[in-house]
């Protein structure tokens, strides 16, 4: 069976691909990852297609954990793929997860598109109607913002506030600022791209951000795994590395 793997900064996600759609997706935290349990979960893999933005050590772990005989290929960003053209100054410098998420997002929506992925970091990227990746933004994710304030100030807590229109305690003030900063950037990019643009929101913090967004949007599943499934069907191996 073919295994699709999205190794992010904090978590590793995977799904099986039967040639139609990713299925039976699962995830594990990288911190304290049990390689034996992962090997057991992946033992049926005969091939694997993956992205890894978590560093070389995680890349080595992925390859060591896959079963013997499994053909593993790591996806890198490229100048064009699956109808998407990159206008990045150096296309190869773009994170593979952002690139593959754009491919996955395009399979769900045509026309101008804002692709926001809210994980450890939040990325907000723009596709025009012709499938050109115009550029995008990276900012600390919600939890990273909260942790940074608690770690680098003397009096502010690691906030666990609640959504509020007018925050009236410190935890709520910090929590809402972190979430609303994400929403505000998404809205700004939506405005730059044009009011007819669609917005796709995914990632672990999507449930926090979605209620705060003032523009129409759709919450999507793992766009990287979806993009990998498109590459599995269309890629001839040119832009992947064994």
Compute CA 216 distance to the chain's CA centroid, rounded to the nearest angstrom: 20
Q: Tell me, what DSSP letter sits at residue 67?
A: P
In the numeric block, the tokens 């890629």 are attached to 235
Q: Annotated catalytic, 56?
A: no
In the numeric block, the tokens 């769900």 are attached to 108
The residue count for the chain: 242
| Residue tagged active-site, from 97, 125, 128, 196 | 97
Inter-residue contact 213 to 86 (CB < 8 Å): no
Strand ranges of the sheet holding 84-86, from the earlier edge strand across to the other edge = 80-81, 84-86, 132-140, 121-127, 113-118, 198-202, 218-219
Positive or negative: CA dihedral 200, 201, 202, 207: negative
In the numeric block, the tokens 């996600």 are attached to 13
In the numeric block, the tokens 């505000």 are attached to 184
Please state, in angstroms and rounded to a whole number, the distance separating the CA atoms of residues 191 and 102. 19
Please state, in angstroms and rounded to a whole number, the distance separating the CA atoms of residues 35 and 62. 9
Positive or negative: CA dihedral 231, 233, 237, 242: positive
Please state, in angstroms and rounded to a whole number, the distance separating the CA atoms of residues 121 and 92. 19
Other beta carbons less than 10 A from residue 242's beta carbon:
8
Kindly list the catalytic residues.
97
């Amino acid at each position: 069976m073919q295994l699709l793997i999205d190794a992010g900064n904090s978590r590793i996600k995977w799904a099986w691909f039967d040639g139609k759609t990713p299925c039976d997706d699962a995830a594990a935290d990288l911190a304290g990852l049990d390689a034996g349990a992962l090997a057991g979960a992946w033992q049926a893999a005969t091939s694997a297609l993956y992205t890894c933005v978590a560093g070389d050590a995680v890349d080595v772990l992925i390859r060591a954990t896959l079963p013997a005989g499994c053909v593993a290929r790591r996806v890198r960003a490229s100048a064009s793929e699956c109808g998407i053209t990159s206008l990045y100054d150096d296309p190869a410098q773009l994170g593979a997860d952002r690139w593959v998420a754009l491919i996955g997002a395009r399979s769900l929506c045509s026309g101008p598109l804002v692709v926001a992925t809210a994980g450890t970091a939040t990325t907000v990227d723009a596709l025009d109607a012709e499938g050109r990746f115009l550029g995008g933004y990276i900012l600390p994710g919600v939890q990273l913002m909260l942790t940074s304030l608690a770690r680098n100030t003397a009096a502010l807590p690691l906030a666990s506030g609640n959504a509020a229109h007018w925050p009236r305690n410190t935890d709520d003030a910090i929590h809402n600022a972190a979430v609303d900063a994400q929403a505000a950037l998404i809205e700004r990019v939506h405005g730059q791209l044009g009011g007819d643009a669609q917005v796709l929101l995914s990632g672990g913090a999507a449930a926090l951000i979605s209620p705060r967004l003032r523009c129409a949007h759709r919450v999507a599943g793992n766009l990287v795994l979806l993009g990998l499934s498109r590459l599995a069907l269309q890629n001839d191996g040119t832009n992947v590395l064994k």
